[in-house]
Structure 1
């Protein structure tokens, strides 16, 4: 019998995805992709622009469906499941970070982290305490009452990290999370993200163009011509 603690938190098997299938302009984005992420592992996904990394992340996070293949999240095969079941699994187990922070402008940094927890049924005092703890961990606790417009780019993205972890997911998916920042800020913010992921024991799949950032993760996968390799 296998040890559940070592079973992949995410497993993709033989994933294919083609856009405009059967048409002259069809694009075969993913061609038989296999991928697994184990508990506590941080995996870099490196790919040239347009190679399909965002598509792969959306399929991994149950925001899109593959043409063929299976997606297993936290031991549950969600291939062909209803939208409701996929949404429930995503809300329970997945956190997302994008290149742009997408914070709600009319709410403070703290409120941006509290709101997803309230939507998930968490009591307000508990949600607030967790939000403050996350902000403290990424070094922006003193900015809790500020709205996004009053925060620097690096501060906004740190708050976005906290929001992604608000509901204590088991898997973090990040698409160029520091891509909009200058190199010095990017390095600092990425360091905060890595510390936060390590401290919380999360698994993570992080897409990046930055090979130096990729080298700081546990393993690097490359997506090219629709296929993954570890070379």
Structure 2
């Protein structure tokens, strides 16, 4: 069963992935030390990348505060299709920098405080709740995997920037890889990804599924 199918029977797995990915993000963040201004990803330094990653938690909290009246985006894959132009826009980089500054003098403590609010909030839900995202109304169960994916990918970015181990926990890693598979199939790139990941050639320059 794919994430693209909007299946809701595996809510517990998606919730566990979100919790584990958040904990891993916090573990990597705790290893920053005084390197908040070090280069990280593109034009972001470590603080900005950490801030952008914190939005994976903050958007869940904010969007749940604006319940949707109907489902406009029916799956996790559809969300990424719907937000491609937004994700490629110039505002994303600035939002990351702003989010990094919002973490204040102690980003590790700030993220811990965010997690202490968001994780219990989501744990008390069923995944069927409708929330308003930047792409429109979605079920929480379909939106949460997008946050797991962002947490896994950007925590790996942070780990690489810091020179520490970049291996995510198994449950969120599996969910993130499933989403990669779904996006590859939906975009007609299954053969490209399969050939590249089985040693039959590299990916084209600049290739992305997002």
- The alignment's TM-score, normalised by the length of structure 1, stands at 0.25
**Per residue, is there more strand in 1 or in 2?**
1
Ranked by relative contact order (alpha carbons within 8 Å, sequence separation 6 or more), the top structure is 2
**Per residue, is there more helix in 1 or in 2?**
2
